Structure 1
Amino acid sequence: MSRGFNKVILMGNLARDPDVRYTPSKQKVARITVAIGRQWKSANGEVQNQTDFVPVVLWGSLADICERYLRKGRPVLIEGRISVRDFDDPKSGQHRWITEVVASGLTLLSGGRREDDASPYPTGSSRGSFGDFGSLRDDKDFGDEFPMDISTLSEGDEDQPDIPF
């Protein structure tokens, strides 16, 4: 029998706050829904929009990160696998199927942040995920020694300093 491949990568925004619970064996589990929008042009040229809402399950430390840092509207990147399971619904007596993504990785993305929303992690900007801290060259404590400006070195200089990276 050949081996299969089941890998999912999702990027979207949380549709609602994470639902964090514990199993009877005290294992933390978080359930989130990731809203993923897509846009296309129909045959008659009209722009069409659709949003898919994908259920995601996170276990252990990923559930902990979810509980601490994620709120409705936050952008997130999820890596994981598709899981399909079935059960008998005790309320209706019907046999039901559930398709969800079981996360193996979680990346907190910058953006989508409201200004009035307090957050324990820094906001992003176009310069990187931790904002614009400015240039070290502007700091007066370094004087003329640091940081060295390697852009002024020309190619072929024999007396170039050894740079350790």
Structure 2
Amino acid sequence: MANLNKVLLIGNLTKDPEVRYTPKGTAVGDLGLAVNRRVKDSNDNWTDETTFVDITVWGNTAENAQKYLTKGRGVFVEGRLQLDTWDDRETGKKRSKLKIVAEVLQFLPDGKGGGGRPAGGGGASQSSTPSQSAPQGGSAAEPSDFDGEEDDIPF
């Protein structure tokens, strides 16, 4: 059976990007995205249905997002779904959250004459510059960044 895990979204940031660093120094960014869908209600009136999505970006893309993006800015995200699971410290119950790990983050025009610069600062998305040695786009961190972390995945 074939598998495909691909997500394409266009929306507006719900907060300023937040960046932290792994012990090995790789940047990890957290973005909140609001995606609207126009739907007709039972009275034939159009309304917006909003979905809020958490996005994770890695490397230079995370640093550029923090540098250039702010709440309300439009972005195009191409990435994959990832399910995070953990035990709640207060209740001890299993918790889970579905998020997007971005592989491409494209800045969209802000409506004020600002350009739609991509996360890499050039004319193309981060994933189109493979000759650079630093992690690009939504690339995952090196496995050594997470030494000592347990992995419950059975394969």
Deviation at 1:25, TM superposition (A): 2.8
Deviation at 1:51, TM superposition (A): 1.2
Q: Is the 8 A contact 1:81 1:103 kept in 2?
A: yes
Unaligned 5+ residue runs, structure 1? 114-121, 131-165
CA distance in 2, matches of 1:93, 1:72: 34
Cα deviation, 1:23-52, whole Å, max 9, x if unaligned, reads 233221000011111211123212222211
Amino acid across the alignment from 1:66: A
CA distance in 2, matches of 1:110, 1:27: 28
Amino acid across the alignment from 2:47: Q
CA distance in 2, matches of 1:18, 1:92: 29
Structure scoring higher RCO (CA < 8 A, sep ≥ 6) equals 2
SS at match of 1:65: helix
The alignment status of 1:47 with 2:38, answered yes or no, reads no
What is the aligned length? 117
CA distance in 1, matches of 2:61, 2:23: 18
SS at match of 1:93: coil
Unaligned 5+ residue runs, structure 2? 118-155
CA distance in 2, matches of 1:111, 1:67: 16
Q: Is the 8 A contact 1:74 1:112 kept in 2?
A: no
Amino acid across the alignment from 1:30: G
CA distance in 1, matches of 2:2, 2:60: 29
Q: Is the 8 A contact 1:73 1:112 kept in 2?
A: no
Structure 1 residues 6 and 86, CA gap change in structure 2 (3 angstroms): same
Cα deviation, 1:101-148, whole Å, max 9, x if unaligned, reads 0000011110244xxxxxxxx714xxxx58xxxxxxxxxxxxxxxxxx
Amino acid across the alignment from 1:123: G
Normalised TM-score (structure 1): 0.65
Q: Is the 8 A contact 1:75 1:112 kept in 2?
A: no
Give the structure with higher Rg (CA): 1
Specify the alignment match of 2:73 in structure 1: 74
Normalised TM-score (structure 2): 0.69
Amino acid across the alignment from 2:96: W
Specify the alignment match of 1:110 in structure 2: 109
Structure 1 residues 104 and 37, CA gap change in structure 2 (3 angstroms): same
Specify the alignment match of 1:144 in structure 2: none
Specify the alignment match of 1:28 in structure 2: 27
* Identity fraction in percent: 38
Alignment root-mean-square deviation, CA:
1.8
Cα deviation, 1:58-107, whole Å, max 9, x if unaligned, reads 01111111111111011100100011121112233221001000000011
Structure 1 residues 28 and 91, CA gap change in structure 2 (3 angstroms): farther
Amino acid across the alignment from 2:103: S
Specify the alignment match of 1:153 in structure 2: none
